[in-house]
Structure 1
Amino acid sequence: MAAMATESRHWSRFETPSSMQRALGLWVDAVGYQRPKPPEDQLDERTWSYYCVLYISRGRGWFSSTPTGRIEFGAGTLLWLFPGISHGYGPLEGPWNEQWTCFSGPLADQYCQLGYFDPGRPAVSVGDDDEIAGIFRKLEDLFRRGGPLAVSLATSLMHRLFALNHARLSGLADFEAGGDPLVNEAIRIVEAEAHKGLRPEELAARLHASYPTLRRRFKERTGFAVKEYMLNVQLRVARQLLAFTRKKVAQVSEEAGFRDAFYFSRLFKERTGTSPREFRELQA
């Protein structure tokens, strides 16, 4: 563990995760900031063995990597850096303010493979987002205080940051404020009616769209297939019924929109890791 504070505009701290933290599959290695980062402070092409994400809250900058070539971005950007990919970046014209955190682990690789952050789209515009800014402030506070729980608590914040970034990449962040009207309306209908036996083809017909069009646009904006999203909503309804009522599994299956109780039980076990009865017992 080491801490550096060369001057007030620059601070960073590094932590070494414990074997238990490594066993969980994701850990934060370092946290820091530079504000302002002067325009002459350019990072030449280099390759790291870990992930980093920078939050650029002020100024404009450039980024370059093999997958993207050179791109430019403005304030309110999350800039993701990937292990094994040569990259360079720096401010344009004037200084910028950056906060950053580095993280590692096989779970980070899985998040990347699932598209929560993408080497082909490393600069993600998030604007003046209070929640994202708050995550970086909390990361700094945790690493400044240190202690045996610093890495674990910091790592817990990363899951939320990954989800927020994925929402921006997929368009879900615009669900209530713009986005794709077809997908927005599809989500509203599915959330309200998936447990009532709604079928994907019926959904498309109600939206006056062909099913291939709905399927493509829904996948592009949410990362889910239409049917998969419907199943997730149905399983959410089922979990609520199992946790808060004493209804029999067959009745729960029916009220969650599953026509076959045996199929429901098998799917529930596949998706949650427990049978419906085991899930209910765990809630007792």
Structure 2
Amino acid sequence: MAELKSVGIYRTARQPAPLSVLGYGTHTITTWLADRRLDSHAAVLVQEGAGMLLSARAGRLELTAPALFWLFPGEQHAYGPAPGTAWQERWVLFGGSLCSYFVDGGLIDPARPLVALSELTPVASLFGAIHSAIVDETPLGPAAGGVALHRLAVEVARQQRPAAVPADGPDADVLAATLRARAFEPIDFAAFADEFGMSPATLRRRFVSRFGVAPKAMQLDIRLDRAKALLAASDDSIEQIAERVGFTDSYYFSRVFRLREGRSPSEFRLRNRRR
């Protein structure tokens, strides 16, 4: 992703996976990298230095290490250190069906691609885990890379604090407990937020800040976790299980399940059935 003092490793996914590491590298950047587009998602960790990111949707953003920014497929961008300086970065390219879940669930936001990190160590450690995974030629390598990428997205989301969060109103744990109690029912999240005296945007920020996911994504996690338990332990049909966990359309349930788990509900049941 840059020209100077760079080391990069690239991989082609051996088979379709929900989340795949496609490349990893470390660079010393000394110049402005302009008019760039990627075919995949990317995370860039700036460990030392300062400069600027120019994003099509977020505009011009000044950054100071430690910081991380996300790049999105096909989106024009530019970045680099302040004139006459350099920055140290590590980057990872990734792809897969879970990328859309990251965006839809609020883990990464194209409108807020830059995250000022309050703690560098856990993020740097996850980049190290990704590097170890991409050089692992065994079948465990791709799986370990996907796990580390997911943990990276969650950790960065936890550190992405909003500029201001109202001190009044219930804390996130109370909101989450209420959501869990209603997870299998239809939820109008605008009405849910109003019930607690806040805007939908504030509700979303509190969930992302505390749990690393938006409320809608948490509801989906709860539903699919319950569906997996039922698939493994019951004789209910796919249609019955879909309805029990809150899906009115079993076809849509199966599509979402495959997107998240990498296999259909029927395939999951065959592999995980409790005898």
TM-score (norm 1): 0.64
Tell which deviates more after alignment, 125-134 or 96-105.
125-134
Counterpart CA distance in 2 for 1:67 and 1:77 is: 18
Counterpart CA distance in 1 for 2:168 and 2:6 is: 41
Q: Choose from 9, 14, 19 the match for 2:10.
A: 14
Matches within 5 A, 1:179-218: 182-184=170-172, 186-187=174-175, 190=178, 194=181, 211=195, 213-214=197-198, 216=200, 217-218=202-203
Give the Å deviation of 1:169.
Answer: 4.3
RMSD: 4.6
Give the Å deviation of 1:121.
Answer: 0.9
Counterpart CA distance in 2 for 1:232 and 1:25 is: 15
Counterpart CA distance in 2 for 1:179 and 1:168 is: 18
Contact 2:172 2:206 in 1 (8 A): no
User: Which secondary structure state, in structure 2, belongs to the residue aligned with residue 182 of structure 1?
Assistant: coil
Counterpart CA distance in 1 for 2:12 and 2:205 is: 38
Is 1:129 aligned to 2:117, yes or no? no
Matches within 5 A, 1:1-284: 10-18=6-14, 20=15, 23-34=16-27, 37-38=28-29, 40-92=30-82, 94-143=85-134, 145-149=135-139, 150-169=141-160, 182-184=170-172, 186-187=174-175, 190=178, 194=181, 211=195, 213-214=197-198, 216=200, 217-222=202-207, 223-224=214-215, 282=273
> Which letter maps to 1:183?
D
Counterpart CA distance in 1 for 2:114 and 2:13 is: 28
Contact 1:190 1:233 in 2 (8 A): no
User: Which secondary structure state, in structure 2, belongs to the residue aligned with residue 138 of structure 1?
Assistant: helix
Counterpart CA distance in 2 for 1:235 and 1:48 is: 32
> Which letter maps to 1:75?
A
> Which letter maps to 1:90?
G
Counterpart CA distance in 2 for 1:86 and 1:184 is: 36
Contact 2:8 2:25 in 1 (8 A): yes
Identity of aligned residues (%): 22
Contact 2:116 2:160 in 1 (8 A): no
For structure 1, the residue ranges without an aligned partner over 5 or more in a row are 1-5, 244-262
| Greater percentage in helix | 1
Contact 1:15 1:151 in 2 (8 A): no
Query: CA distance change for structure 1 residues 71 and 16 in 2, over 3 Å: closer, same or farther?
Result: same
- The structure whose RCO (Cα within 8 Å, separation 6+) is larger is 2
Query: CA distance change for structure 1 residues 120 and 265 in 2, over 3 Å: closer, same or farther?
Result: closer
For structure 2, the residue ranges without an aligned partner over 5 or more in a row are 208-213, 233-242, 258-263
Counterpart CA distance in 2 for 1:49 and 1:265 is: 36
